[in-house]
Amino acid sequence: MNDTGQQRRIKVLLAKPGLDGHDQGAKIVARAMMDAGFEVIYTGLRQTPEQVGRIALEEDVDVIALSSMAGSHLPFCRKLKPLLEENGLHDKLWLIGGNLPAQDHDALRELGFKGIFPTGSKLDAIVAYIRENVREHVA
Amino acid sequence: MNDRAQSTLKIITNESGLEVKPLYTAADVEESGGTTMLGEPGEYPFTRGIHREMYRKQPWTMRQYAGFGNPHDTNQRFKYLIANGQTGLNVAFDLPTQIGLDSDDPLAAGEIGRVGMSIDTLRDFEVAFDGIDLDKITVSMTINGAAAIAIAMYLAMAEKRGYDVKKLRGTAQNDILKEFIGRGTWIFPVEPSIKLVGDTIEYCAEHAPKYSPVSVCGYHIRESGATPAQEMAYAFCIAKAYADEVIARGLAVDEFAGRLSYNFNIFGNLFEQVCKFRAGRSLWAKIMKEEYKAEKPGSMWLRMIAAGGGGGLTFEQPELNIVRGAYYALISALSGTQTMALCSYDEAYTIPTEYSARISLRTMQILIEEMGMTETVDPLGGSYYVETMTNRMRDKMEEIIAETDAQGGIVKLVSEGIIQAKVSAQAYQMQRDIESGKFPKVGVNRYRNEHEDEHPVEFHPYNEDDARVQVDGLNKVRAERDSAHVARTLAAVSEAARAGANVMPAIVEAVKAYASVGEITKELVKVYGRYQEPIRF
């Protein structure tokens, strides 16, 4: 709830980390989030950890979501975690989706990525997860 | 009304939006335009195939996509595939190479050798193709933004090994316009990117006339959400944009059009796919003959790789992808493709292992050896359904091309992100239709397993050490090469770009001096700048 008593729109940063050019999935998820009434900032391709950290801070987002299809999710997230923490964004909801082998999920969770949505995840499940967990954060 | 009557009355449309009737007769063929665009195989307008004897003379080339780690690792995989009966190579490059970064660039960290092999200099090409007979095995390179450099390296490597470049065959993907729609390995802004494609076509027409410098890809546009009819129509619009670029320089269409090739997708409804290819073959021939006044039959041929099918494969129950792959290969064979490759069943998870790559290869070999697919040309020709739908698909493609031209042409629509927004909206709708069950997908929204098995997919290991080996190799080349000569050849690259000249001769010289992919790219960026992606929904 904000000052006016109305529920604030959930604001999501959706980023394409690294050099991966496969953005069909990210764009589909962005549309699903917009249809759900979220405000979505989609970065486009080739974002560095520094860029993701900076945009997340400047835009004051509730959710930081990454879409990774080309296998570099772990090295990227290892670099992103301290940057998000330095920017005081540790209490935001960190999500990652895409081609994420099950064997990497524990490592991603340990890096602070609470929501993991591998290939095959449903759009409604992603939206519901954000609604539930952002409310928790805001409260 | 009984159930049977109702089922025949329900309107069914294919993905391209065309109605599919419960029965076709000779009257439907007539009504759709008859057989005026049918012809004989090997004759205009080539609906039935670009060659008279097709697979009787030679089966399709089998060209699985392969490459990972460093050039040495990839060379081993190439030799494994060739030893198992593969007849062509399709090289996967890692992302840093594809977008013009050296392996020691900070932006390349974590990405070296991951989705393809890493290339810095000509030395890496020498290692990757060591021991492979380039006269017997043709090489196709999946590279776009940095294609001019890769082509130069391939030609230089072949020349160094004593091959006559004038006779050398091979293909580069080098279709940058589709990279702006999907796949995303662009480097330079749209206009200089098209100019670079023109440079490669012009250079190869003179120096390597058997080499195919461009393979125009409907494939990735389809993966990004296009319908089969849009896939082919947009590919033709893109090919025309490249042809216009080269013709504006004074080349005659028959000097280069015979070396243009295509790359199309094969997932979806079998009949819609087969009709897409048959329709596309005659439409491209018509465009080349009537619009471009081509005279040589080769200029009118829709030479293609019909391959992949990634967009149709599923993460759920991955073994079913082996079955889908077999049907996709069948589509490809019934469509009269020149080259075939299949996405392996584990590609929704990982890059293919030797085991899964071999299954894909065997799938194609079964069609050749056991199924009679090479015995008769265009075996579906003459079917009332196939001939009617081929005519309808051709009409649909012409309609999409006319609409694209009326809106200002493909280059404008891609530059402004309009095509991207259109196919992305379609991809979103398709995903919703799959999730709701409206669009059937076995294992996903039909016949799901109660408890999903632990998927028996073996992961291709990523070797963290590959990056260090690659950077060490680059440093060794830098220490050994004549750095003053390298600097001179690099300066010549940006000079040629600034002068608006064809940059290929300068790139070839730089490559021969062992200048790196990243160094040459930087010279071009100095003049062309970098692409800024339009974000549109």
pLDDT, tens digit (0-9, with 9 covering 90-100), for A50-103: 999 999 999 999 999 999 999 999 999 999 999 999 999 999 999 999 999 999
pLDDT, tens digit (0-9, with 9 covering 90-100), for B205-257: 999 999 999 999 999 999 999 999 999 999 999 999 999 999 999 999 999 99
Q: Is A101 in contact with B109 (Cβ distance < 8 A)? A: no
Q: Do the domain assignments include residue B518?
A: no
Residue written as token pair 């033709």: B236
Q: Do the domain assignments include residue B501?
A: no
B402 CA: distance to closest CA in chain A (Å) = 26
Task: Give residue B7's pLDDT.
Answer: 61
Q: Is A70 in contact with B425 (Cβ distance < 8 A)? A: no
Q: Cα–Cα distance between B334 and A48 in angstroms, integer?
A: 45
The beta-carbon neighbor of A21 closest among B185, B315, B535 is: B185
Task: Give residue B319's pLDDT.
Answer: 93
> Taking 90 as the threshold, does the pLDDT of residue B262 lie above it?
yes
Query: What is the average per-residue pLDDT within B80-108?
Result: 97
Nearest of B305, B203, B282, B278 to residue B246 by alpha carbon:
B203
Task: Name the strand (E) or helix (H) holding B304.
Answer: strand B304-308
Q: Do the domain assignments include residue B240?
A: yes
- DSSP assignment string, B160-177: HTT--GGG--EEE---HH
pLDDT, tens digit (0-9, with 9 covering 90-100), for B22-61: 999 999 999 999 999 999 999 999 999 999 999 999 999 9
Write the CB contacts of B402 (distance below 8 Å, at least 6 apart in sequence): none
- DSSP assignment string, B58-117: -PPEE--EE--SSHHHHHHHHHHHHHTT--EEEEEB-HHHHTT--TTSGGGTTTTTSSSB
The beta-carbon neighbor of A24 closest among B224, B348, B350 is: B224
Task: Give residue B453's pLDDT.
Answer: 64
What is the rounded average pLDDT for all residues in chain B?
A: 96
Q: Is A72 in contact with B424 (Cβ distance < 8 A)? A: no
Q: Identify the bridge partners of residue B216 per DSSP, sorted by sequence position.
A: B262
Q: Is A48 in contact with B110 (Cβ distance < 8 A)? A: no
Q: Identify the bridge partners of residue B10 per DSSP, sorted by sequence position.
A: none
CA atoms within 13 A on the CB side of A35: 15
What is the value of pTM for the model shown?
0.96
CA atoms within 13 A on the CB side of B83: 8
| Helix axes B418-436 and A24-35, enclosed angle (nearest 10) | 70
Inter-chain contacts counted by CB atoms under 8 A, chains A and B: 86
> Taking 50 as the threshold, does the pLDDT of residue A139 lie above it?
no
Residue written as token pair 């889908």: B324
CB distance B305 to B88 below 8 Å: no
- Could you tell me which chain A residue has the CA closest to the CA of B461? A71
3-state helix, strand, coil in chain A (%, to 5): 45, 20, 35
Domains in chain A: boundaries: 11-138
The beta-carbon neighbor of B428 closest among A18, A28, A71 is: A28
Q: Is B537 in contact with A34 (Cβ distance < 8 A)? A: yes
Write the CB contacts of B494 (distance below 8 Å, at least 6 apart in sequence): B523, B524, B526, B527
* Number of helices and strands in chain A (H, E): 5, 5
The beta-carbon neighbor of B462 closest among A19, A71, A124 is: A71
The beta-carbon neighbor of B110 closest among A32, A76, A124 is: A76
Q: Is A72 in contact with B110 (Cβ distance < 8 A)? A: yes
Q: Do the domain assignments include residue B223?
A: yes
Q: Do the domain assignments include residue B316?
A: yes
Q: Do the domain assignments include residue B62?
A: yes
Query: What is the average per-residue pLDDT within B79-106?
Result: 97
Domain count, chain B: 1
Q: How many CB atoms lie within 10 A of CB B5?
A: 8
Radius of gyration of chain B (CA): 23
Q: Which chain B residues have a beta carbon less than 8 Å from that of A42?
A: 535, 537
Strands of B61-62's sheet, edge to edge?
B61-62, B339-342, B304-308, B260-265, B214-217
The beta-carbon neighbor of A45 closest among B107, B184, B350 is: B184
Q: Cα–Cα distance between B10 and A130 in angstroms, integer?
A: 40
B308 CA: distance to closest CA in chain A (Å) = 16
Q: Cα–Cα distance between B428 and A32 in angstroms, integer?
A: 8
> Taking 50 as the threshold, does the pLDDT of residue A2 lie above it?
no
| Segments forming the whole domain that contains residue B222 | 13-436
- Could you tell me which chain A residue has the CA closest to the CA of B180? A21
Q: What 3-state class would DSSP assign to B118?
A: coil
Q: Do the domain assignments include residue B99?
A: yes
Q: Which chain B residues have a beta carbon less than 8 Å from that of A76?
A: 110
Radius of gyration of chain A (CA): 14
pLDDT, tens digit (0-9, with 9 covering 90-100), for B190-208: 999 999 999 999 999 999 9
Q: Is B316 in contact with A120 (Cβ distance < 8 A)? A: yes
What is the CATH classification number for the domain harbouring B366?
3.20.20.240
At B10, is the pLDDT very low, low, confident or very high (cuts 50, 70, 90)? confident
Strands of B211-212's sheet, edge to edge?
B65-66, B88-92, B138-142, B170-172, B211-212
Q: Cα–Cα distance between B132 and B130 in angstroms, integer?
A: 6
Q: Do the domain assignments include residue B263?
A: yes
Q: Which chain A residues have a beta carbon less than 8 Å from that of B107?
A: 19, 48
Domain A11-138 CATH class label? alpha beta
pLDDT, tens digit (0-9, with 9 covering 90-100), for B108-127: 999 999 999 999 999 999 99
At B5, is the pLDDT very low, low, confident or very high (cuts 50, 70, 90)? low
Q: Cα–Cα distance between B322 and B324 in angstroms, integer?
A: 6
Q: If you ran DSSP here, which 8-state letter would residue B306 be given?
A: E
Q: If you ran DSSP here, which 8-state letter would residue B134 be given?
A: T
pLDDT, tens digit (0-9, with 9 covering 90-100), for B439-498: 999 999 999 988 776 566 787 788 889 899 999 999 999 999 999 999 999 999 999 999
